Amino acid sequence: MRILFIGDVVGRTGRTAVIDYLPGMIRDWSLDLVIVNGENSAGGFGITEAIYQELLDAGADAVTLGNHAWDQREALVFIERAPRLIRPVNMPPGTPGRGAALIDTRRGKRALVVNAIGRVFMTPFDDPFAALSRELAACPLREAADAIVVDFHGEATSEKQGIGFFCDGRASLVVGTHTHVPTADHQILPGGTGYMSDAGMTGDYDSVIGMQKEEPLRRFTTGIPSARFEPAAGEATLSAVAVETDDATGLATKIAPVRKGGRLAPAMPEFWNG
Q: Model confidence over 70-101: pLDDT tens digits? A: 999 999 999 999 999 999 999 999 999 999 99
CA distances, 1 to each of 30, 45, 232 (Å): 10, 32, 35
Q: Which residues of 158-175 are buried (b: 16+ CB within 10 A; e: fewer)?
A: ebbbbbbebbbebbbbbb
Which residue in the list 68, 153, 180, 186 is annotated as catalytic? 68
Would you say 173 and 150 are in contact if contact means Cβ atoms under 8 Å apart?
yes
Give the total number of structural domains in the chain. Answer: 1
Boundaries of domain holding 181: 2-272
| Strand (E) or helix (H) holding 37 | strand 33-37
Reported confidence tier of residue 226, pLDDT bands at 50, 70, 90: confident
68 is catalytic: yes
- pLDDT single digits (tens) 199-224: 999 999 999 999 999 999 999 999 99
Cα(254)–Cα(271) distance, rounded to whole angstroms? Answer: 8
With bands split at pLDDT 50, 70 and 90, how would you rate the model's confidence at 55?
very high
Q: Find the CATH number of the domain harbouring 16.
A: 3.60.21.10
pTM: 0.97
The share of the chain scoring above pLDDT 70, in percent, equals 100
Measured distance CA(40)–CA(72) in Å, rounded: 10
